[in-house]
Amino acid sequence: MEREDPLERIERKERERKQNGGAKTVMFIMIAVAVLLGAALAYVLWQKNSLVGQLNIEKQELTEQIVALQSDYESLSSEYDAINLQLDSSREEVAQLVERIKKTEATDRAKIRQYEKELGTLRTIMRGYIVQIDSLNQLNHKLTVDAANARREAAEHRKRSEELTAQVEDLTGKVVTGSVIKARGMRIEAYNSAGKVIDRSKNVARLLVTLSLVENALAESGPVRVYVRVKDPNGNLLDDGRGASFTLNGQTLPATASREVDYQGQEVELSIYVNNIPAYEKGIYTAEAYTSQAKLGSAELMLR
């Protein structure tokens, strides 16, 4: 075997050393690059997971806000049909929004932003409902108060009117009552044919009823006819043959005799004779005097 020259051997070893060093350097570089790439990939994955977690949190918060708004819509009530129809429509929109966000991935940023806008719009609409309902309730309350005040005022006016009517009727009744002509000092006497007052029945030629119409400024002035009804001891009405009668309280009554006088509100004395009676008997005769308005009085006569 040929022996290797020492110098060549040294050069060869030097070449081998350089070759091995270059390979190690390349290997170290590749390892370093791999480590850096792994670190970068790990960072990217961590960042992605962190972003997804944040997006899930945002989606959960948005979902809770929409569900809370749905609860607010459910608790909102109105007494007005038109608003109730609008509320039903808005409640349906909120319910659909809840379902849509539950089915949407948190990473779908476009839809999540769209849902946020819809949530804001529905909140604005709800505030409008609250303002509208509050305004209508205030108006309704005002109208209710006004109606109650009007009813109370009407009741008060009606009460005052009834009181005034009652007062007028009372005063009218008093005037009517006060305008009725009254009499005093009524008496009945028996006379014989000579014109003397007697008390024996067999000598009586006629009876005389006298009375005074008292002063009354409220009474109507003018002619007044006074009627007398004389009954014998048996209760039979004496008839002078003239057929006088009058109406009192809607009832027609026969009279024994009558006389008309001119009454001007001042006191008037009058006498009414009862003639043409065939005979008188013993006992008590009763005389009553009337106008067409009222009874004036009564008197009795005892004949022996």
Percent of the chain with pLDDT over 90: 35
Q: How confident is the model at residue 75 (pLDDT cuts 50, 70, 90)?
A: confident
Q: Report how far residue 264's alpha carbon sits from residue 266's, in angstroms, rounded to the nearest whole number.
A: 5
The token pair that represents 93 in the structure block: 């929109």
- 167: exposed, middle or buried (Cβ count in 10 Å: 0-12, 13-18, 19+): exposed
219 contact partners, CB below 8 Å, separation of at least 6: 179, 180, 181, 263, 265
Which of 120 and 55 is assigned the larger pLDDT?
120
Mean pLDDT of 245-255: 92
Q: What is the number of residues in the chain?
A: 304
Give residue 23's region: left, alpha or beta (phi > 0; psi -120 to 50): alpha
* Residues forming a β-bridge with 289: 228, 297
Q: What's residue 132's pLDDT? A: 85
Mean pLDDT of 169-180: 58
What letter represents residue 61's amino acid?
E
Query: DSSP state, 278?
Result: -
Rounded to two decimals, the pTM is: 0.47
Mean pLDDT of 139-157: 84
Mean pLDDT of 75-87: 82
Most confident of 40-44, 107-111, 119-123, 296-300: 296-300
Q: What's residue 284's pLDDT? A: 97
Please tell me the CATH code under which domain 183-303 is placed: 2.60.40.2560
Which of 179 and 47 is assigned the larger pLDDT?
179
C-alpha 193: how far from its chain's center?
Answer: 82
Residue spans of the domains in the chain: they are 1-152, 183-303
Which of 225 and 133 is assigned the larger pLDDT?
225
In degrees rounded to 5, what are phi and psi of residue 80?
A: -115, 125
- Across the chain, the runs of DSSP E, i.e. the strands, are 183-191, 197-198, 206-213, 222-231, 245-248, 251-254, 257-263, 268-274, 283-290, 295-303
Sheet arrangement for strand 183-191: 197-198, 183-191, 206-213, 268-274
The token pair that represents 159 in the structure block: 């009460």
Of the ranges 200-214, 230-244, 278-292, which one carries the lowest mean pLDDT score?
A: 230-244
Q: Is 195 helix (H, G, I), strand (E, B) or coil?
A: coil
| CB distance 70 to 98 below 8 Å | yes
Which of 84 and 25 is assigned the larger pLDDT?
84
**Structure confidence by residue, pLDDT tens digits, 178-223:** 678 999 999 999 999 999 999 999 999 999 999 999 999 888 899 9
Q: What is the mean pLDDT of the chain?
A: 84
Give residue 297's region: left, alpha or beta (phi > 0; psi -120 to 50): left
Query: DSSP state, 273?
Result: E
Q: What's residue 174's pLDDT? A: 46
Q: Is the confidence at residue 2, as pLDDT, over 60?
A: no
**Structure confidence by residue, pLDDT tens digits, 8-20:** 777 777 776 666 6
**Structure confidence by residue, pLDDT tens digits, 111-143:** 888 988 888 898 898 888 888 888 888 888 888
